C-alpha cells in the first residue's frame, strides 16, 4: 500500500535565473519503507524532504501522504497534519534551548494530547536505548553535538508517526552511535511499521536502506530496491 505519492513535483529558487532544485519528480513510496535519498550536494535531497514534509510548497505538482493531498491544504490544516502524522530529524537539531532534554521530547506528544505518564515513560525508555539515560534533566547547550543529534532522533520517533523524514540523521555521530541509531530505527520500522525517508551522504545509511533513490540536478537518476540491508552502493 502506498503511503507517499509525488506527481510531477517541481521547485525553483531564484527570481531572475531560476534554479530547479527539484525538477519534475514523480515517486511512490510504500507504507513501511526504509528508503534513502542520495546524491551530491545540490542534487535536491533536502529540498525534496522539505516538500514532502510540507515545510515548503512546490511550484507545481502534487504530494499525497496517505489519503491527504498536502499540497492542497490550507496552512492551519497542514500544521496540524505535520504535528500528528510526521516526524522530522533536522541537521541543525532544532531543540528548544530553554527546555530540558525530557521536556523537549515531551513537547510534541503533549500537544497531541498524550498522557503525561506515557510520554515521560517513552522519553526515558528511548533515551536509554541511545545511551543517554543520564541526560534527561540537562539542557541542549550542555550536550555535545552528537548527543543533541541522538535527542533529535528520539524526539522524531517518540510518537511513532506515519513517516519520519530525516535530513542527514547521522551527520554528527561517530560510526558506533550512528550504527546504534540506525538499528533502533530499523527496529521501529520492522516491528511498528514506521516509514523512514532519509537524505544522506552516509554509506552506513545507504547500505541499510531497502530502497536507494539517487538524485542528480533535481531529478531521479536511479531508483534501486534492495532485499538486503548490506547491499553495497555505487560510487
* Domain spans, the chain: 2-94+162-225
Question: Which pLDDT band holds residue 92 (cuts at 50, 70, 90)?
Answer: confident
Q: Which H or E run contains 215?
A: strand 211-216
pLDDT of residue 17: 62
The percent of residues in the chain predicted with pLDDT above 70, rounded, is 94
Residue 173 pLDDT > 90, yes or no?
no
Q: In what side-by-side order are the strands of the sheet with 19-30?
A: 19-30, 2-13, 60-65, 68-69
Tell me the three cell numbers of residue 51: 516538500
Per DSSP, the residues of 188-202 read HHHHH--EEEEEE--
Residue 40 pLDDT > 50, yes or no?
yes
Q: Report whether 122 contacts 130 (CB < 8 A).
A: no
pLDDT of residue 178: 86
What is the rounded distance in angstroms from the CA atom of residue 122 to the CA atom of residue 137? 15
Which residues, in sequence order, are CB contacts of 58 under 8 Å at separation 6+? 9, 10, 11, 22, 51, 71
26-35, 173-182, 207-216: range with lowest mean pLDDT = 173-182
Residue 172 pLDDT > 60, yes or no?
yes
Using a cut of 0.85, tell me whether the model's pTM lies above it.
yes
Residue indicated by cell numbers 541499510: 208
- Residue/partner pairs of 110-119 with CB below 8 Å, 24 or more apart: 111/83, 112/83, 112/84, 112/159, 114/159, 119/158
pLDDT of residue 16: 52
Residue 29 pLDDT > 70, yes or no?
yes
Span 2-94+162-225 CATH architecture: 3-Layer(aba) Sandwich (3.40)
pLDDT of residue 187: 87
Which tops the pLDDT comparison, 80 or 15? Answer: 80
Residue 230 pLDDT > 60, yes or no?
no
pLDDT of residue 220: 96
Amino acid at each position: 500500500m502506498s503511503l507517499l505519492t509525488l506527481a510531477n513535483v517541481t521547485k525553483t529558487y531564484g527570481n531572475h535565473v531560476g534554479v530547479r532544485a527539484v525538477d519534475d519528480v514523480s515517486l511512490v513510496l510504500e507504507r513501511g519503507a526504509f528508503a534513502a535519498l542520495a546524491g551530491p550536494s545540490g542534487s535536491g535531497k533536502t529540498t525534496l524532504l522539505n516538500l514532502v514534509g510540507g515545510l515548503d510548497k512546490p511550484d507545481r505538482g502534487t504530494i499525497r501522504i496517505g489519503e491527504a493531498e498536502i499540497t492542497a491544504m490550507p496552512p492551519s490544516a497542514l500544521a496540524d497534519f505535520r504535528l500528528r502524522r510526521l516526524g522530522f530529524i533536522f541537521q541543525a537539531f532544532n531543540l528548544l534551548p530553554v527546555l530540558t532534554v525530557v521536556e523537549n521530547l515531551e513537547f510534541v506528544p503533549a500537544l497531541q494530547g498524550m498522557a503525561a505518564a506515557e510520554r515521560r515513560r517513552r522519553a526515558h525508555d528511548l533515551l536509554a536505548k541511545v545511551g543517554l539515560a543520564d541526560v534527561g534533566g540537562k539542557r541542549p547547550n550542555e550536550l555535545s553535538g552528537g548527543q543533541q543529534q541522538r535527542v533529535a532522533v528520539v524526539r522524531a520517533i517518540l510518537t511513532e508517526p506515519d513517516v519520519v523524514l530525516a535530513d542527514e540523521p547521522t551527520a554528527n555521530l561517530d560510526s558506533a552511535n550512528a550504527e546504534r541509531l540506525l538499528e533502533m530505527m530499523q527496529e521501529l520500522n520492522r516491528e511498528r511499521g514506521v516509514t523512514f525517508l532519509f537524505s544522506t551522504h552516509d554509506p552506513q545509511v545507504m547500505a541499510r536502506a531497502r530502497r536507494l533513490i539517487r538524485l542528480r540536478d533535481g531529478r531521479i537518476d536511479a531508483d534501486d530496491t534492495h532485499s538486503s540491508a548490506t547491499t553495497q552502493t555505487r560510487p
